[in-house]
Protein backbone atom coordinates (compact mmCIF):
# COMPACT_ATOMS: atom_id res chain seq x y z
CA UNK A 1 0.00 0.00 0.00
CA UNK A 2 1.37 3.39 -0.98
CA UNK A 3 1.81 6.35 1.37
CA UNK A 4 0.36 9.64 0.08
CA UNK A 5 2.68 12.64 0.41
CA UNK A 6 2.75 16.24 -0.81
CA UNK A 7 5.64 17.42 -2.98
CA UNK A 8 7.72 20.15 -1.29
CA UNK A 9 8.15 21.97 -4.63
CA UNK A 10 4.92 21.79 -6.63
CA UNK A 11 2.68 20.67 -3.71
CA UNK A 12 1.24 17.92 -5.89
CA UNK A 13 0.20 14.74 -4.06
CA UNK A 14 2.05 11.53 -4.97
CA UNK A 15 2.30 7.99 -3.65
CA UNK A 16 5.39 6.13 -2.41
CA UNK A 17 6.01 2.65 -1.03
CA UNK A 18 7.11 2.37 2.61
CA UNK A 19 10.80 1.88 1.72
CA UNK A 20 10.73 5.30 -0.03
CA UNK A 21 8.78 7.18 2.65
CA UNK A 22 11.62 9.70 3.05
CA UNK A 23 11.07 10.89 -0.52
CA UNK A 24 9.99 14.53 -0.45
CA UNK A 25 9.37 15.36 -4.12
CA UNK A 26 7.16 13.87 -6.82
CA UNK A 27 9.65 13.77 -9.71
CA UNK A 28 13.31 14.13 -10.66
CA UNK A 29 12.60 17.67 -11.88
CA UNK A 30 11.14 18.73 -8.53
CA UNK A 31 13.92 16.90 -6.70
CA UNK A 32 16.55 18.84 -8.66
CA UNK A 33 14.81 22.16 -7.97
CA UNK A 34 14.47 21.35 -4.27
CA UNK A 35 18.13 20.35 -3.91
CA UNK A 36 19.29 23.44 -5.80
CA UNK A 37 17.25 25.81 -3.63
CA UNK A 38 18.30 24.02 -0.45
CA UNK A 39 21.93 24.18 -1.55
CA UNK A 40 21.68 27.92 -2.31
CA UNK A 41 20.09 28.63 1.07
CA UNK A 42 22.81 26.72 2.90
CA UNK A 43 25.57 28.44 0.90
CA UNK A 44 24.17 31.87 1.78
CA UNK A 45 23.93 30.90 5.46
CA UNK A 46 27.48 29.54 5.51
CA UNK A 47 28.83 32.59 3.69
CA UNK A 48 27.20 34.88 6.24
CA UNK A 49 28.53 32.88 9.20
CA UNK A 50 32.05 32.69 7.77
CA UNK A 51 32.08 36.45 7.14
CA UNK A 52 31.20 37.08 10.77
CA UNK A 53 33.85 34.61 11.90
CA UNK A 54 36.48 36.10 9.62
CA UNK A 55 35.86 39.57 11.00
CA UNK A 56 36.98 38.38 14.44
CA UNK A 57 40.05 36.48 13.21
CA UNK A 58 41.65 38.79 10.67
CA UNK A 59 43.67 41.94 11.00
CA UNK A 60 46.88 42.90 12.78
CA UNK A 61 45.58 41.77 16.17
CA UNK A 62 45.75 38.17 14.96
CA UNK A 63 49.10 36.57 15.92
CA UNK A 64 49.27 34.81 12.54
CA UNK A 65 48.67 38.01 10.55
CA UNK A 66 50.89 38.19 7.45
CA UNK A 67 52.32 34.68 7.89
CA UNK A 68 51.88 31.51 5.82
CA UNK A 69 52.32 27.79 6.51
CA UNK A 70 55.07 25.79 4.81
CA UNK A 71 54.10 22.93 2.48
CA UNK A 72 55.25 20.41 5.10
CA UNK A 73 53.12 22.04 7.80
CA UNK A 74 50.10 22.14 5.48
CA UNK A 75 50.55 18.42 4.79
CA UNK A 76 50.65 17.64 8.52
CA UNK A 77 47.54 19.76 9.15
CA UNK A 78 45.73 18.03 6.28
CA UNK A 79 46.52 14.52 7.57
CA UNK A 80 45.48 15.36 11.14
CA UNK A 81 42.27 16.96 9.94
CA UNK A 82 41.38 13.94 7.78
CA UNK A 83 42.15 11.47 10.60
CA UNK A 84 39.51 13.08 12.82
CA UNK A 85 36.75 11.79 10.55
CA UNK A 86 37.85 8.19 11.12
CA UNK A 87 36.36 8.57 14.60
CA UNK A 88 32.60 7.86 14.43
CA UNK A 89 31.91 9.93 17.57
CA UNK A 90 33.72 12.98 16.18
CA UNK A 91 31.94 12.61 12.82
CA UNK A 92 28.54 12.51 14.52
CA UNK A 93 29.33 15.58 16.64
CA UNK A 94 30.61 17.44 13.58
CA UNK A 95 27.44 16.58 11.65
CA UNK A 96 25.30 17.84 14.54
CA UNK A 97 27.25 21.11 14.71
CA UNK A 98 26.96 21.72 10.97
CA UNK A 99 23.27 20.78 11.02
CA UNK A 100 22.52 23.07 13.98
CA UNK A 101 24.23 25.94 12.20
CA UNK A 102 22.13 25.33 9.11
CA UNK A 103 25.07 24.41 6.85
CA UNK A 104 24.00 20.77 6.42
CA UNK A 105 20.60 19.15 6.08
CA UNK A 106 19.32 16.83 8.78
CA UNK A 107 19.78 13.15 7.98
CA UNK A 108 16.03 12.63 7.72
CA UNK A 109 15.79 15.48 5.17
CA UNK A 110 18.39 14.03 2.78
CA UNK A 111 16.69 12.39 -0.25
CA UNK A 112 17.07 8.58 -0.20
CA UNK A 113 18.77 8.50 -3.60
CA UNK A 114 21.37 11.03 -2.43
CA UNK A 115 22.21 8.73 0.48
CA UNK A 116 22.37 5.73 -1.83
CA UNK A 117 24.55 7.43 -4.46
CA UNK A 118 27.04 8.62 -1.85
CA UNK A 119 27.37 5.23 -0.16
CA UNK A 120 27.70 3.48 -3.53
CA UNK A 121 30.52 5.74 -4.66
CA UNK A 122 34.09 4.46 -5.01
CA UNK A 123 36.06 3.97 -1.80
CA UNK A 124 39.39 3.99 -3.65
CA UNK A 125 40.73 6.03 -6.58
CA UNK A 126 40.20 3.10 -8.99
CA UNK A 127 42.39 4.58 -11.76
CA UNK A 128 45.15 2.03 -11.12
CA UNK A 129 42.75 -0.89 -10.59
CA UNK A 130 40.28 -0.73 -13.47
CA UNK A 131 41.10 -2.24 -16.88
CA UNK A 132 38.03 -1.09 -18.83
CA UNK A 133 38.87 2.25 -20.43
CA UNK A 134 42.45 2.53 -19.13
CA UNK A 135 43.68 3.59 -22.59
CA UNK A 136 41.25 6.52 -22.52
CA UNK A 137 42.86 7.66 -19.27
CA UNK A 138 46.28 7.67 -20.96
CA UNK A 139 44.95 9.58 -23.98
CA UNK A 140 42.71 12.15 -22.30
CA UNK A 141 43.69 12.39 -18.64
CA UNK A 142 41.31 12.86 -15.70
CA UNK A 143 38.36 15.23 -16.22
CA UNK A 144 38.57 18.65 -14.58
CA UNK A 145 35.91 21.32 -14.97
CA UNK A 146 38.53 24.07 -15.42
CA UNK A 147 41.62 22.48 -16.93
CA UNK A 148 40.51 19.33 -18.78
CA UNK A 149 36.90 19.19 -19.90
CA UNK A 150 37.69 16.46 -22.44
CA UNK A 151 39.00 14.14 -19.72
CA UNK A 152 37.66 10.88 -18.35
CA UNK A 153 35.66 9.90 -15.27
CA UNK A 154 34.91 6.70 -13.34
CA UNK A 155 31.53 5.23 -14.16
CA UNK A 156 29.29 2.53 -12.67
CA UNK A 157 28.71 -0.12 -15.36
CA UNK A 158 25.57 -1.23 -13.54
CA UNK A 159 24.23 2.23 -12.73
CA UNK A 160 23.36 3.62 -9.32
CA UNK A 161 19.85 4.55 -10.42
CA UNK A 162 19.16 0.91 -11.22
CA UNK A 163 20.94 -0.17 -8.05
CA UNK A 164 18.74 2.16 -6.00
CA UNK A 165 15.60 0.96 -7.77
CA UNK A 166 16.49 -2.69 -7.11
CA UNK A 167 17.84 -2.23 -3.54
CA UNK A 168 21.34 -3.50 -4.37
CA UNK A 169 23.88 -3.34 -1.56
CA UNK A 170 26.38 -0.45 -1.59
CA UNK A 171 29.41 -2.75 -1.44
CA UNK A 172 28.33 -4.53 -4.61
CA UNK A 173 27.84 -1.25 -6.48
CA UNK A 174 31.30 0.11 -5.59
CA UNK A 175 33.21 -3.07 -6.47
CA UNK A 176 36.00 -2.64 -9.11
CA UNK A 177 34.17 -5.13 -11.35
CA UNK A 178 31.45 -2.48 -11.67
CA UNK A 179 33.82 0.34 -12.62
CA UNK A 180 34.79 1.54 -16.07
CA UNK A 181 36.60 4.62 -17.34
CA UNK A 182 34.70 6.71 -19.90
CA UNK A 183 34.85 10.28 -21.16
CA UNK A 184 32.94 12.93 -19.24
CA UNK A 185 30.90 13.68 -22.37
CA UNK A 186 29.81 10.04 -22.60
CA UNK A 187 28.89 10.03 -18.92
CA UNK A 188 26.73 13.15 -19.31
CA UNK A 189 25.01 11.61 -22.35
CA UNK A 190 24.34 8.45 -20.36
CA UNK A 191 22.79 10.45 -17.51
CA UNK A 192 20.55 12.43 -19.87
CA UNK A 193 19.12 9.25 -21.39
CA UNK A 194 17.60 8.34 -18.02
CA UNK A 195 17.17 5.22 -15.91
CA UNK A 196 16.60 2.84 -18.84
CA UNK A 197 20.11 3.55 -20.16
CA UNK A 198 21.77 3.69 -16.74
CA UNK A 199 23.33 0.22 -17.05
CA UNK A 200 25.20 -1.58 -19.81
CA UNK A 201 25.05 -4.96 -18.03
CA UNK A 202 22.40 -6.80 -16.02
CA UNK A 203 22.58 -7.25 -12.27
CA UNK A 204 23.23 -10.97 -12.68
CA UNK A 205 26.13 -10.18 -15.00
CA UNK A 206 27.57 -7.90 -12.32
CA UNK A 207 27.24 -10.70 -9.76
CA UNK A 208 29.11 -13.03 -12.12
CA UNK A 209 31.91 -10.50 -12.62
CA UNK A 210 32.34 -10.04 -8.86
CA UNK A 211 32.27 -13.77 -8.15
CA UNK A 212 35.00 -14.34 -10.73
CA UNK A 213 37.11 -11.31 -9.79
CA UNK A 214 40.68 -12.53 -9.27
CA UNK A 215 42.46 -9.35 -8.14
CA UNK A 216 42.73 -8.45 -4.43
CA UNK A 217 39.89 -6.25 -3.15
CA UNK A 218 39.25 -5.21 0.45
CA UNK A 219 35.51 -5.93 0.29
CA UNK A 220 35.63 -9.07 -1.87
CA UNK A 221 34.49 -11.56 0.80
CA UNK A 222 31.79 -9.18 1.99
CA UNK A 223 30.51 -8.72 -1.58
CA UNK A 224 30.26 -12.48 -2.16
CA UNK A 225 28.27 -12.84 1.07
CA UNK A 226 25.97 -9.96 0.08
CA UNK A 227 25.37 -11.45 -3.38
CA UNK A 228 24.24 -14.69 -1.75
CA UNK A 229 22.09 -12.72 0.65
CA UNK A 230 20.50 -10.76 -2.19
CA UNK A 231 19.76 -13.91 -4.17
CA UNK A 232 18.04 -15.37 -1.12
CA UNK A 233 15.62 -12.44 -1.17
CA UNK A 234 17.20 -10.23 1.50
CA UNK A 235 17.87 -6.87 -0.12
CA UNK A 236 19.23 -3.54 1.07
CA UNK A 237 16.94 -1.51 3.32
CA UNK A 238 18.11 2.07 2.93
CA UNK A 239 16.02 3.13 5.92
CA UNK A 240 18.14 1.11 8.36
Long-range contacts of 22-26 (CB under 8 A, 24+ apart): 22/108, 22/110, 22/111, 22/112, 22/239, 23/111, 23/112, 24/109, 24/111, 25/111
What is the pLDDT confidence band of residue 41, given thresholds at 50, 70 and 90?
Answer: confident
| pTM recorded for the entire structure | 0.62
What is the pLDDT confidence band of residue 62, given thresholds at 50, 70 and 90?
Answer: low
- Tens digits of per-residue pLDDT, 10-36? 888 888 787 777 788 888 777 777 776
Amino acid sequence: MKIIKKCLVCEKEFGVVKSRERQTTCSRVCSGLHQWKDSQDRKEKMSSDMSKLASTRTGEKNAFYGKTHSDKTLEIISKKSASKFEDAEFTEKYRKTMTDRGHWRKKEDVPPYTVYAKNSDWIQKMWDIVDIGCLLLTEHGVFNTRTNRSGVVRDHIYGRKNGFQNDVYYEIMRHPANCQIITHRENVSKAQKGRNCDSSISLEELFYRIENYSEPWIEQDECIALINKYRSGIKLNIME
